[in-house]
Chain A
Amino acid sequence: MAEMRLEGVRKVYGGAVVALDDFSLDVADGEFVVFVGPSGCGKSTALKIIAGLEPATSGRVWIGDRDVTEFAPARRDIAMVFQNYALYPHLSVRSNIAFGLRMRHQPRVEIDRRVQEVARILDIESLLDRRPRALSGGQRQRVALGRAIVREPQAFLMDEPLSNLDAKLRVHMRAEIGALHQRIGVTTIYVTHDQTEAMTMANRIVLMRNGVVQQVADPDTMFEQPANAFVAGFVGSPAMNFFQSRLTKGPDRPVIEFGDATLPVQLAPDIFARYAEQDVLVGLRPEHMSIGNGTHSTVVRPNLVESLGSERYVYFPVPTANTVGHATFVSQDEDRRANTMIARLMNVGRIEEGAPLPLSFEPDRIHLFDPASEQAIN
């Protein structure tokens, strides 16, 4: 077990494509850190650089107190779990798990003992003599985990290990990996594109986009205080709604307008001075709206209502005055256009599409972003 440090790691492909830019991170001993972001954000590249499977163009990688930047993967004392499990089809489960120990010429008795122990932890003792192709997806996943933990390495690297499982099994294995981490407490770096996995498993999340780290924070902070509109749109499901509004002076606090509703916002006076009488990007999470008339409410006409049983997703058009002209930020579900918003309403009755629906807002939960830089301003 060890801490890990990345110092200004940069990766450039073919002299032009920057896959990873100035990536620095300190990972504490025993921490579970999740790299998350859309495809092509550089998260897998970062993991491969840590594993030593790809060289960094510049920067240093430390594992424990050793600078491993120039080390081959074998010398870094890490174990990796791959998306496709990378189990060897010609070897039995037992040999697959024992592979790393055998390559390191451990005594046979010791190998057998450790394989048995790992099989017991992962509950795959009955599968040891099978070939991988005779296993289900979840069992293969366990074998892949077994191959990693049997080595008792300094750190685990996991590259989207759950993305080949079906939704139900994924939730189950997610919990299992979490429990396993708590039990053996090895420093883990976990790569995923699924924000739910990141939110549920991580001690800390590293959210990336186009090779650049957007924010490093624990899940709650990332949800409540996103550093920019991209982070705000990526974390949370359904994704945050964005609209545009002019920031003006209200009776006691600065206000924004949404349709015919006037919403007071929290803003430091000096920041307000900078953005007063200008358009800002406003973020409002679907769950921070509720049905009925309140202090701050407006009437919308839903054009689509999705029922999930206990909750309903109500889609309604953004008033023309509030539509974001330049939607450069990327939300999790990109197909949602800038002129539609979603409200996530809990335990409400039937909602008619097209009929007027009063919605009230929680102004304290409103996020404001700079329209150009998209950085959070409140």
Chain B
Amino acid sequence: MAVQTDLQNRTERTLGSSSWIGRLRALDLSSPRHADKLGYILLAPAVLLIFVILVYPILLSVDLSLQDVDIPRIGETREPYTLDNYTKLFGSAEFWRASWVSLKLIVVVTSACFAIGLATALLVNQHFKGRTLARLFVALPWAVPEVIAVVTWWWMFDSSFGLINWLLVTLDLADKPIAWLSQPVPAFLVVSIVMIWKGYPFVSIMLLAGLQAIPEDHYQAAKVDGAGAWQRLFWITLPSLLPVFGVTMILVVLWVFRDFAVVFILTGGGPIGATQTLSMMTYEQAFGFFRMGFASAIGVVTLVICVLATRLMVSRMAKSMY
């Protein structure tokens, strides 16, 4: 301590002791004494940004959801607080149907993404010729911009000119073209397929990273101990991947929950609400019918669901490993 003060004094003397510039210069932020200050200073821009683009809008929408307001205007006198939007929301069949669609989509897309993602990750984790190329192909759908990908799929599923119908008819798998996007079940199927196609590479990449972190020793020890390939998968690979599974699942679930482009471009939520997710419904209420208060209420409920789901998965998955 004494040494440090002495050092500081000497530094101040050389830099012009009494002036505040001198003192500022002597304030060495990299010294252990000031390390925490430096940390806060470096964090400040990010924290500020998060406040501006995340926290403030969230507070704004909570505020809006508690008012009976259609189009809010700056400077206008605010409406009185009310729970009308929430009462209306929980009483509307549309909300429950959208929640059900979102849930179905999450279950179908997430499980399919994990099945395909795990299979492809295990595949490209093997040593074979052309592995780098195979990895590239596995990751490719992820790299295609979402809107372009969805528009392409939309064309492929077009009932009159689409590639899929042409294939089905040519291969005699269907006797007449299927109206993919104007029937409830096929429309849901198409939305699911496109989301799976777009989503599995992310799972694959994450799981591949997880696979590579498993020490080779563990497999060798298991081989010597007499574990076969399936036993190694169930006893070593899958348990070792659990932490990665947890994080990836949260990210995928949240992605499915909030993804908008796929549904919007393919079906717009139709036919008759068969593919209307909560995010689609929020958009429609806000920018279709300009019921901002009501739309904000949906957004707030969605946020609460997401937070709860995340919390649940984080604690479960993290504990199960260690």
Contact = CB atoms under 8 A, between A and B. Distances in A.
Interface of A: 51-53, 72-74, 78-80, 82-86, 88-91, 99-100, 103-104, 131, 133, 147, 151
A85 B215 CA distance: 11
B239 A90 contact: yes
Given A88-B239, A90-B321, A90-B322, A74 B218 contact: no
Interface stretch (B151-159, B184-192, B228-236, B308-316): B228-236
B221 A74 contact: no
B222 A99 contact: yes
B228 A74 contact: yes
B321 A73 contact: no
A61 to B, nearest CB: 14
7 contacts: A80-B224, A86-B215, A91-B239, A100-B225, A103-B225, A147-B221, A147-B225
B240 interface: yes
Given A99-B235, A103-B231, A86 B226 contact: no
A103 B224 contact: no
Nearest to A76: B224
A103 B226 contact: yes
A78 to B, nearest CB: 7
Contacts of B231: 103
Nearest to A99: B225
A88 B242 CA distance: 13
A83 B321 CA distance: 23
A80 B322 contact: no
Interface in B221-266: 221-228, 231, 235-236, 239-240, 242
B322 A73 contact: no
A335 B204 CA distance: 48
Interface of B: 215, 217-218, 220-228, 231, 235-236, 239-240, 242, 321-322
Given A82-B217, A86-B218, A90-B322, A53 B236 contact: no
Given A73-B223, A90-B242, 5 more contacts: A52-B224, A53-B224, A72-B223, A100-B226, A147-B221
A179 to B, nearest CB: 24
Contacts of B242: 90
A151 B322 contact: no
A356 B228 CA distance: 69
Nearest to B243: A90
The 8 closest A-B pairs by CB, nearest first: A100-B225, A86-B217, A74-B226, A86-B221, A90-B239, A103-B226, A73-B223, A103-B227
Contacts of A151: 225
Nearest to A90: B239
Nearest to A104: B226
B99 to A, nearest CB: 35
B72 to A, nearest CB: 52
Contacts of B223: 52-53, 72-74
Contacts of B322: 89-90, 131, 133
Contacts of B226: 73-74, 100, 103-104
A155 to B, nearest CB: 11
A91 B236 CA distance: 10
B125 to A, nearest CB: 18
B223 to A, nearest CB: 4
Contacts of B220: 51, 53, 73, 80, 82, 86
Contacts of B215: 84, 86
B224 A74 contact: yes
Contacts of A86: 215, 217-218, 220-221
Nearest to B227: A103
Contacts of A72: 223
Nearest to B240: A90
B225 A88 contact: no
A80 B221 contact: yes
Given A88-B236, A90-B322, A133-B322, A103 B222 contact: yes
Nearest to B242: A90
A333 B10 CA distance: 47
B225 A84 contact: no
B232 to A, nearest CB: 9
Given A86-B218, A89-B321, A51 B240 contact: no
A84 B219 CA distance: 13
Contacts of A104: 226
Interface centre among B223, B228, B321 (most CB of A within 10 A): B223
Nearest to B217: A86
A78 B236 contact: no
A197 to B, nearest CB: 20
A104 B222 CA distance: 11
Given A84-B217, A90-B321, A74 B227 contact: yes
A88 B225 CA distance: 13
Contacts of B228: 74, 103
Contacts of B235: 88, 99, 103
A104 to B, nearest CB: 5
A7 B183 CA distance: 71
B282 to A, nearest CB: 40
A82 B223 CA distance: 13
A78 B220 CA distance: 12
A34 to B, nearest CB: 20
B224 A51 contact: yes
